[in-house]
Amino acid sequence: MKEIWRGRFFVFTLSFKVLFMNAENSSLETLQDIKRIMERSSRFISLSGLSGVSAGISALIGAWIANKWLHDYYLLYNERGDYYAGDFHELKSKFIMLAFAIVALALSSSFYFTWSKAKKNNVPIWDHTTKKLLINLIIPLAAGGLFVLGLLYRNDWHFVAPACLIFYGLALVNASKYTLSEIRYVGIIEILLGAVNMYFAEYSLWFWAFGFGIVHIVYGLIMWWRYDRKISSTE
């Protein structure tokens, strides 16, 4: 009789453990679902790694064109043996137009890849979180843009590239709380590059190419491997 009761007690205990484990697993899955929902509602997670790659490639193209223009400018200067203000103003105008063109190319390509990822995830690309992200991104960028315009007005080109890197990094750090956390580290790298560039202004184009080009490409590939690759493999 005791053996029968022991067997029944063992079966009851085992059943209770199984039910408890199932309930615990169910609770964990529920918590994970809630966490994912809260993350999606508070962070813009549709930022594509390919957006970073495309922005980096655009920056490298711009750096290559700018380097060619600088080479031609100094070549002409050596041939003439004298400085002409008209040549410098022409070079400055070309640089400004190139900057706008590269920014437009980077933004359009980044938007396309981000929109494509959002469409695959079936999530809206424009919501309350996106508004917060853009506001926190634009404020430091606008301040940096005004500062750079002041440098251009004073014909002080030495600190344009460092200022672009520093203010862009501040913008990324400021906006990182509304998107992927890795953005914060990219922002810190940009700030450090800009700070070092202040002391090596003669290499500004190389710092600019590395910060906006190489760093973006490396970051984009890492983000694609971590997040986008999973989406592509499930299609």
Question: Is 103 within 8 Å of 208 (Cβ atoms)?
Answer: no
Q: What is the DSSP letter of 181?
A: T
Mean pLDDT is lowest, of 26-30, 80-84, 148-152, 177-181, for: 26-30
Higher-confidence position of 65 and 130: 65
This prediction's pTM: 0.76
| Per-residue model confidence as pLDDT tens digits over 84-130 | 667 778 888 888 899 889 989 988 988 888 888 878 877 777 778 88
Split at pLDDT 50, 70, 90, the class of 83 is low
Tell me how far apart the alpha carbons of residues 121 and 21 are, in angstroms, rounded to a whole number: 32
Question: Is 140 within 8 Å of 186 (Cβ atoms)?
Answer: no
Average pLDDT of the chain? Answer: 79
| Closest alpha carbon to 192 in 221, 162, 218, 220 | 162
